[in-house]
Amino acid sequence: MRDYYRPLVRSDFPRPDTALSLAGGPRWFTHVARHRRDGSVTRLAATEVPPEALARLTARRPSLLGLPMDRAQIMGILNVTPDSFSDGGSDRNAAEAALRGRRLIKEGADILDIGGESTRPGAPEVPSGEEIARTEPVIRALAGVPISIDTRKAKVARAAVRAGASIVNDVSGLTHDPELAGYCAENGLPVCVMHSQGDPETMQDDPVYEDVLLDVYDFLERQVDMLEARGLARGKIIVDPGIGFGKTQAHNLALLNGLSLFHGIGCPVLLGVSRKGFIGRIGRAPEPASRAPGSIAVALAGIAQGIQIIRVHDVAATRQALALWQAVEQGGKDDA
């Protein structure tokens, strides 16, 4: 029976001499929770973890686009769609969208994630040509800004990279378009692999898992291994458990509670929870634009588990919250 190791992450002082750094960052652990498919979860000393598994948990993640992965980075969401669940139709043209993107950078976004196809539950697929027409001029107008293209399609990714994008963010985890994995690998292009059960049109119909935490882990690990076998360095791959994509509220909460497990894949971990439906339900905020407090709370909970990238709509509010949270956590110390 396979063992899965979830580090029990801490950041308090004093740090014991036996503590191990999580992913080369400021957080540390001395123990792990061992998960098994029989449902058992056992607390173990980190010294009991096999060396290969321990190496992936502790190895420093290489920088991406010049952004260090030993601290939390903010990915600002810039949807240029008429129908995204929260910010669809925000701009009348590419120039307005680019202005909004530059405002997000000024507010504290480290990278922009630009998408031309809504992936909200029930959203229909958008033809590649239309997706390119929406995203390409905005990317060109934002030249010099770190940009991720949020797409499931190789044709769209090619056009975006020619226009200036540097990372591909695929919500299908490279399962929608068989050409996209090869394109990223052949060009050494950083890619974010997200887990999703089903397409946006059907993913929320009746999602079922044997063990959502381990099922999502296995999928992401397989996709990362596939990319690495095709020549893409593991350090250029980001993993995302796909909160809200083919998951019930219970699934989402189980994944959020066990997020540190995903460090075992050996890649930076991205968390995208901003304004999601479960935040509205739990936080009693039916309008997506009113969900910033809940979104920030969950993002900070993820950062406490060592998540390296948080994908958000409310950049300025998140940046402020993160700065204050880190200051309190450090307690006046110069190093976290």
Backbone angles phi, psi at 258, to 5 degrees: -110, 25
Q: Which stretches does DSSP call E strand in 213-335?
A: 237-240, 270-272, 309-312
89 alpha carbon, distance to own chain's centre:
24
Residue 93 pLDDT exceeds 90: no
In this predicted model, what pLDDT tens digit does every residue of 259-282 receive, in sequence order?
A: 999 999 999 999 999 999 999 999
Nearest to 276 by CA among 245, 307, 305, 301: 245
Q: What is the chain's mean pLDDT, rounded?
A: 93
Indicate the range of 18-27, 84-93, 288-297 predicted with least confidence: 84-93
| Average pLDDT for 93-102 | 90
Is it the case that residue 15 has pLDDT exceeding 50? yes
pTM of the full predicted structure? 0.94
Measured in degrees and rounded to the nearest 5, phi and psi for residue 224 equal -65, -45
C-alpha dihedral sign at 296, 193, 113, 188? positive
pLDDT tens figures, 150-201 = 999 999 999 999 999 999 999 999 999 999 999 999 999 999 999 998 777 6
Q: What is the pLDDT of residues 238-264, one digit of tens each?
A: 999 999 999 999 999 999 999 999 999
Which residue has 């260090």 as its token pair? 68
Query: Over the stretch 282-328, which tens digit does the pLDDT of each residue have?
Result: 999 999 999 999 999 999 999 999 999 999 999 999 999 999 999 99
pLDDT recorded at residue 123: 77
- The reported pLDDT for the residue numbered 84 is 47
CA end-to-end span of the chain? 37
Active-site residue set:
276, 311
Q: What is residue 138's three-state secondary structure?
A: helix
**Closest by CA position to 169, among listed 239, 80, 265, 226:** 239
87 has a pLDDT exceeding 80: no
Contact 141, 95 (CB under 8 A): yes
